[in-house]
Chains A and B, each alone.
Chain A
Amino acid sequence: MMFKEMRVSADASQLISLATFASAAAKEAGFDRKQTWRIELAVDEACSNIIEHAYSGQKGGWITLKIAIEPNEWMQIVLEDQGKGFDPTKIASVTPITSLDHARIGGMGVHMMRTIMDEVKFEFKIPYIGNRLTMIKKV
């Protein structure tokens, strides 16, 4: 098993670093090109939610990305933040969208995360940690 970790400021300019870090780990885990790219997208969406909602776009917060890999078996992605605890599952999802009139502006990112990953779990206000999102995908 392999572990990787990075910590960056909660700023949109850091999204590509987080996404690329996850993408490289996905390749090491043995995912094909399409799944690797999709995992990168899931991490991007999760981190965007943290930046925009948990920290409300304000500077000064941090995002910690922890990845565990069992090559050719599974990959676990953990994201931790100390923001206000945004629970996207409380937003009713209307995706996939079937009509321009019914298309909602929010909820697409969480829909993507759930589509891409096998497990998505949100935890809030964990003592000494903050908020934690755990996503798991089997190879």
Chain B
Amino acid sequence: MSSSLIINELTPEKSKDGTVTVPVLQVSGRLDTHTVGILEKSLSSTMAKGVKSLVLELSGLNYVSSSGLRALLMARREARERKGTIMLCALTPQVRDVFDMVGFTSLFDIRDTLENGRAALR
């Protein structure tokens, strides 16, 4: 038995003038102490490209523990320093429950769908 976390960088949308919009990472699986390094590495390499904001599509994330929350919190702080944000989309009921439990819901921009998240950052 093993836990796994899969992260896909979705093909970025392009705006009408041809510029690439905010990158989207699709995160699925189980985000815990064992797998959090995968997310941290992915967030770090994406932010290293100089992006200010980032969208995380979480419809496939069925589990998050406090280790995962810490990684998201650090990324949110870094994005804020860059005058950007971390947009979280399509939270599963389990992830929403944990967010509510620790008060994270008020710290992040959260949208019901990826489309709504992208639209909010255009």
Contacts and interface: CB of A to CB of B under 8 A. Distances in A.
B101 A16 contact: no
A38 B65 CA distance: 10
Given A17-B1, A108-B66, A41 B106 contact: no
B76 A98 contact: no
B32 A97 contact: no
Interface of B: 1-3, 30, 32-34, 63, 65-67, 69-70, 73-74, 76-77, 80, 93-94, 97-98, 101-104, 106-107
Interface of B is mostly: helix
Interface of A: 12-13, 15-17, 19-20, 34, 37-38, 41, 44-45, 48, 51-52, 95-100, 103, 105, 108-109, 111-112, 115
A108 B69 CA distance: 9
A44 B69 CA distance: 14
Contacts of A16: 1-3, 30, 32, 34
B77 A100 contact: yes
